[in-house]
Amino acid sequence: MTTAKTPEWVKHAIFYQIFPDRFARSARLPKPAHIEPWDTPPTEHGYKGGDLLGIVEHLDYLCDLGITALYLCPIFASTSNHRYNTHDYLQVDPLLGGNEAFRTFLDEAHRAGIRIVIDGVFNHTARSFQPFADILENGEASPYRDWYRILEWPPNAYDTSRPPGYWAWWNLHHMPTLNHDNPEVQAYIYQVARYWIEQGADGWRLDVPFEIKTPGFWQGFRRVVKAANPEAYIVGEIWAEAQEWLQGDQFDAVMNYLYATWVIRYVIGEHVNHDAVFDRRPPVDEPITAREYAERIDELLALYPWEIQCAQMNLLDSHDTARLLTVANGDVRRVKLAALLQFTFPGAPCIYYGSEIGMEGGRPDREARATFPWDRPHLWNHELRDFYKRLIAMRKGHIALRTGSYHRLYADDDVYAFARCQGDETALVVVNRADGTRRITLNVGALCGKEHVALTRIYGGSGVDTLDNGHLEVVVPPCDGIVWYTA
C-alpha cells in the first residue's frame, strides 16, 4: 500500500454541492426561448437556465454561510440538464456561459477563498461526442471504432425498443461506455484531467468510477492530476466500502455515502420517509440503536488510514438522493441532529444546495433538483440556515473537530457520545435521538488528562461544566445534542 497523502486544505474545507442548472440564473447571459420558468417544478428533460455567472452573483451568500469549497455537478457541453452525458470535454456548456464564464467564475471564487471541484464523467459519453458520432457516421471504417465496445454493426443508437448494440451505462442508448483498455482513450481522458487542473480547477469528483475496471487506469489518472497540482483533490462516487480505491495510489477520498447511511438509520430511524429512500443501496430505512451506530462507526473508521478519513467528503444528501428534510418526513429536529454529527465527524462536510434553507424533494431525481428560491425568501427556513452557520463556525473555530483523533465514549439505545482530541484540545459530543430527555454519566477524566477540568459548552446551551473525579453528569435534551470544548 502506498502511503496516503491528501490535500491539506480538504481537511479544513466546508463543501457545498451545486447542480448548475438549478442554483442561480444570471441576467448577463442570454438564454434560449424555451427555458422553463424558474419557479415551476422541474421536469425530466427541461432546462431552468442556471449558469456560472449566477453562482458568481451569489458568492456573497456562500461566503456568509461559511462555505470554502464548491463541488459542481457536470459543467461540460452536453445534451441534458444534468450533463452526465458529455458532448465536449474541453468546452463548458454554452448554457452555463461557456469557457469564458468558467474563467470568470474560477477567478471570483478563488478571490473569495473558495476552491472548485468539478465533476468528471469518464465512464461514458454522449452519443454526440465526436468519436462516437464518427462511429455512427462511418461505421466499421471509423478510426474511433475501438474507443467503444461495439457489439453489432451498425450500432443502434436511437431505437430504444431494441438493445443499443454496444456497451452503454445501464444499457442506456444515450450513454455509450468508453473502452478504457484502449490506450488512446486513456490518453484522451488524462489530457482532459490535466487540462482543467492547469486551468485552475482544484480537483475532480469522479462519476461512477467503479464501472472502470481497467487495471492501472485510476493510478495513471492520479499521476497526471497530481503532476499538474499536488494539492488537487480526487474524490470518487462510491456508495459502499471503498478500500479498493483508497490505498493512497488512486483517490484521495470518496463521497461518504456509507457514513450517511449510518447517520440516517440512527438519527431518523423509524421516522424515515420510506417512499423517499426505497431505492437507496445500502438501505437507510432500517433503524439502528446508538449502540449499533457506534459499532458501525468504529468499523467505518477502521477501513481507511487516518489521512484519508480526514479528507472524506461527508454528505447527507445529494443530487442522487432525496433531500434530508424529505427523508426525515419534515422533522427539522432530526435534520439538525444529523447535521450536528456530520459537522463533528472526521472529514469535510458537504451541504447539498438549498438543504440549509429546508428545501425538500424526494424521488424521482428531478424532485430533489428544484431551483433555489432566491426571489421567494418566505419559503426559506431562516432558523435552519442560521443553525448551519453556527455549525460551520463551530467547526472552523475548533481544530479538534476537524483533524482531532476520534474516541467513542458511550452508547446505549438512544444516546451516543464521542470525543475529538488534538494536542491539548478536546471536544466532547453527546447526541440523543430519543423524543425524551436522557441522563447519562461520562467517564472522561483519562481522556482529558485531569480528574477536574472545566468544559465550555460551544453547542447546546452556554456556560461551563466541571468534571467530578473524572466524571461528567449530562442531561441531554430530546432529539438534540451538546458539545463541550477544553483547551
Q: pTM higher than 0.75 for the full model?
A: yes
CB neighbourhood size of 217 (10 A)? 19
What's the CA gap between 123 and 175, in Å, rounded? Answer: 9
> Is 386 part of the annotated catalytic residue set?
no
Q: How far is CA 146 from the centre of its chain?
A: 34
- Which residues partner with 76 through β-bridges? 92
Task: Calculate what percentage of the chain has a pLDDT beyond 70.
Answer: 99
Answer yes or no: is pLDDT of 392 > 70: yes
- How would residue 454 be classed by pLDDT, with cut points 50, 70 and 90? confident
| Mean pLDDT within 428-438 | 97
| Mean pLDDT within 462-469 | 83
- Kindly list the distances between the CA atom of residue 249 and the CA atoms of 188, 216, 217, 243, in Å, as whole numbers in the listed order: 20, 10, 11, 11
Answer yes or no: is pLDDT of 414 > 80: yes
Cell match 456497451: residue?
Answer: 167
Answer yes or no: is pLDDT of 1 > 70: no
Answer yes or no: is pLDDT of 448 > 80: no
Name the residue with higher pLDDT: 472 or 199.
Answer: 199
What's the CA gap between 42 and 423, in Å, rounded? Answer: 50
- Kindly list the distances between the CA atom of residue 204 and the CA atoms of 170, 237, 405, in Å, as whole numbers in the listed order: 23, 11, 27
Give residue-wise pLDDT tens across range 228-273.
999 999 999 999 999 999 999 999 999 999 999 999 999 999 999 9
pLDDT for residue 263:
98
- Which residues partner with 471 through β-bridges? 443, 468
What's the CA gap between 378 and 427, in Å, rounded? Answer: 36
CB 207 within 8 A of CB 189: no
Written as nine digits, the cell of 231 is 494539492
Answer yes or no: is pLDDT of 306 > 70: yes
Element of type H or E holding 217: helix 217-228
Answer yes or no: is pLDDT of 113 > 70: yes
DSSP states of 279-344 = T-SS---S---HHHHHHHHHHHHTTS-HHHHTT-EEES--TTS--HHHHTTT-HHHHHHHHHHHHT
Residue 12, class by beta-carbon neighbours within 10 Å (0-12 exposed, 13-18 middle, 19+ buried)? middle
The catalytically annotated residue of 51, 119, 237, 414 is 237
Q: How far is CA 70 from the centre of its chain?
A: 10
Q: Collect all residues with Cβ–Cβ distance below 8 Å to 394 and sequence separation of at least 6.
A: 343, 401, 458, 459, 483
pLDDT for residue 449:
61
Q: How many residues does the chain have?
A: 487
CB 28 within 8 A of CB 55: no
| Mean pLDDT within 81-98 | 98
422: left (phi over 0), alpha (psi -120 to 50) or beta: beta
Burial 367-406 (b: 16+ CB within 10 A, else e): bbbbbbebeeeeebeeebbebbeebbebbeebbbbbbbeb
pLDDT for residue 64:
99
Type of residue found at 127: R
DSSP at 125: -
pLDDT for residue 350:
99
- How would residue 450 be classed by pLDDT, with cut points 50, 70 and 90? low
> Is 137 part of the annotated catalytic residue set?
no
Q: Is the bond leading into 7 cis (omega within 30 degrees of zero)?
A: no
- How would residue 464 be classed by pLDDT, with cut points 50, 70 and 90? confident
pLDDT for residue 452:
61
The catalytically annotated residue of 21, 119, 207, 414 is 207
Domains of the chain, first to last: 8-123+180-397 (3.20.20.80), 404-486 (2.60.40.1180)
Interhelix angle 217-228/183-198, rounded to 10 degrees, is 30
CB 82 within 8 A of CB 74: yes
Answer yes or no: is pLDDT of 184 > 90: yes
Answer yes or no: is pLDDT of 451 > 80: no
| Mean pLDDT within 83-105 | 98
